[in-house]
Amino acid sequence: MKVIDSNDICPVVILTVMREWKSVKDEEEIEIITPWEAVAQELEKWCKETNNEFLGYFRDGDKIKIRLKLLRY
């Protein structure tokens, strides 16, 4: 599983995830680690719009860990 650890603001994190999504051959689970809780909300919306799977998120100390399944069919 690929891990994206970013302190960048929300739009930058989403762009990073989009770049990763474009490189996926079939499907891939990724974890995003960020201090910004809004990233989880925006990625959940993005997954619905792009037919990817939002697997959830949880707080780990001062960071948010978000799990996604990126799908390219």
pTM attached to this predicted model: 0.92
Does 71 have pLDDT greater than 90?
A: yes
DSSP 35-58: S-HHHHHHHHHHHHHHT-EEEEEE
Q: Give the structural domain span for 57.
A: 2-71
Residue 18 CA neighbour count, 13 Å, CB half: 10
Task: Residue 47: give its domain's CATH number.
Answer: 3.30.110.40
Residue 70 and residue 52 in contact, taking contact as beta carbons nearer than 8 Å = yes
Per DSSP, what are the bridge partners of residue 32?
A: 4, 66
Express each pLDDT in 10-59 by its tens digit: 889 999 999 999 999 899 999 999 999 999 999 999 999 999 999 999 99
Q: How far is it between the farthest Cα atoms of the chain?
A: 36
Express each pLDDT in 9-18 by its tens digit: 888 999 999 9
